[in-house]
Amino acid sequence: MKKIFPLFLGLCCTMMVLQFTSCSESKHDFTAPVEIQDTYITELDTLISSMTHLADTSDYGTQKGQYPSDSRSILTDAISNANRYVLLIKYQDPAPSESEKQRYITEINNAVEKFKNSIRTENAETIPAVLFVDGKTSQSYIDFGRSKDYTVFGETGNQSFTIEFWVKVTARGSYDNCMFLSTFFSNSTSQWRNGWMMYWRNSGTGIYRVSWGGILSSNRWGLWEPSFTAPADGVWQHFAFVYSDKGLGGNASLRGKLYLNGTVASTQSNTTTSEVYNSSDYDNYDKPMTAFTRWVNTTDMQEGFSGYMKKIRIWKEAKDDAYIQSSYNELTDISGKETNLVAAWDFTSKPSGTDNSVLDLTGKHTAKVIGTYKWE
């Protein structure tokens, strides 16, 4: 028995050595996929770049010489396909044939021509209408998608922006707040807050308020909330918020102004330079900007209201009193090409085709109306 055990132990050791050697050899035999170099890839990359530029710079609208808003999807779909074809040429085994690659190029070029041919040769017939959303149960709302354009306005400590819209509340939901427009995110564990939101709140007889996240502080958790007494429900109100880290109107401590119907209704001042608007943690959140309700955690939509909204504008600059007054008096004609305009929706005419998808005036963002709504 004593002689058998050493032999058995030696056999086990030999088998283990062979197994490790085999694993080592298998590892060294691995060959990383080689990225294919192909002139068709270069051609597709050039087409992707030109289509992206065309989609972003074209003029969309209802007038002669503009493109229908739906036409933008022709280019975005073609860009998606072109990117897929690049990957097929690089990594598919076996690689696409010459005729197949030529088909890719022809298909993409045809899409570009289809887009260009869709330009309006005469003014479109539009149906004036305003959008009603029954959001009081938080099941109906507008999803604007997720974009840094809505939230990130430069480097922390050097951000300026303006949010404005018209709103008419017809019925409030059961929650303490009735959310007009929101990109606000909060991590309750660290009390780190990002973005902004504008809403009606149940305080006294009601208030209009703005909340925005700042750099974390011991007494405010980085949260700023100027407000003013809410106007009557059932009436159109023009609500605007102007903010600048560097101060407004030459006053370095005056960070924010709230306007109701063209007049300053509330302000927010602070002399601490560290307590400024915060969007630095944006990449850790995946929730879209919403109207008529907001995301309050990873799964729930809450704090909705029913009513109307129109002429939503987001600017990457702090507008002055004269502009806000002009906007309230509806003397501003916004085309979508204005400097520092990052997103804008009118919601004053029923879209042709699918009536729950509305491209913004810049041609870069699409709003999806979810749940119960109607164009009136």
Query: How big is the chain by its Cα radius of gyration, in Å?
Result: 28
- What does the pLDDT read at residue 207? 98
Average pLDDT over every residue of 136-145: 92
Structure tokens at 95: 């690689």
- What does the pLDDT read at residue 19? 47
Structure tokens at 221: 């958790």
Name the residue with higher pLDDT: 201 or 298.
201
Name the residue with higher pLDDT: 213 or 96.
96
- What does the pLDDT read at residue 124? 78
- What band does 223 get if pLDDT is binned at 50, 70 and 90? confident
Percent of the chain residues past pLDDT 90, beyond the cut: 62
Q: How far is CA 178 from CA 31, 184, 320, in A?
A: 58, 14, 27
Average pLDDT over every residue of 5-9: 43
Question: Would you tell me which CATH number, out of the four given (2.60.120.200, 2.60.120.1440, 3.40.630.10, 3.40.50.700), belongs to the domain 127-375?
Answer: 2.60.120.200
- Cβ proximity of 304 and 293 under 8 Å: yes
Average pLDDT over every residue of 63-74: 86
Q: What are the b/e assignments for 196-226, b being 16+ CB within 10 Å?
A: bbbbbbeeeebbbbbbbbbbbeeeeebbbeb
- What does the pLDDT read at residue 332? 93
- What does the pLDDT read at residue 13? 45
Where exactly does CATH 2.60.120.200 map onto the chain? 127-375
- Cβ proximity of 180 and 239 under 8 Å: yes
Asked if the model's pLDDT at residue 327 lies above 70, the reply is yes
**Each residue of 306-323: pLDDT tens digit?**
999 999 999 999 999 999
Name the residue with higher pLDDT: 294 or 9.
294
- What does the pLDDT read at residue 275? 67
Q: Which of 184, 321, 343 is nearest to 251 (CA)?
A: 321
Asked if the model's pLDDT at residue 192 lies above 60, the reply is no
Where exactly does CATH 1.20.1270 map onto the chain? 39-117
pTM listed for this prediction? 0.78
Please tell me the class of the 39-117 domain: mainly alpha
Q: How far is CA 71 from CA 94, 109, 351, in A?
A: 35, 15, 13
**Each residue of 230-287: pLDDT tens digit?**
999 999 999 999 999 999 999 988 999 999 999 999 999 876 666 678 887 788 788 8
**Average pLDDT score over the chain:** 86
Average pLDDT over every residue of 20-37: 50
Q: Give Cβ neighbours of residue 183 (< 8 Å, ≥ 6 apart).
A: 150, 151, 195, 196, 197, 289
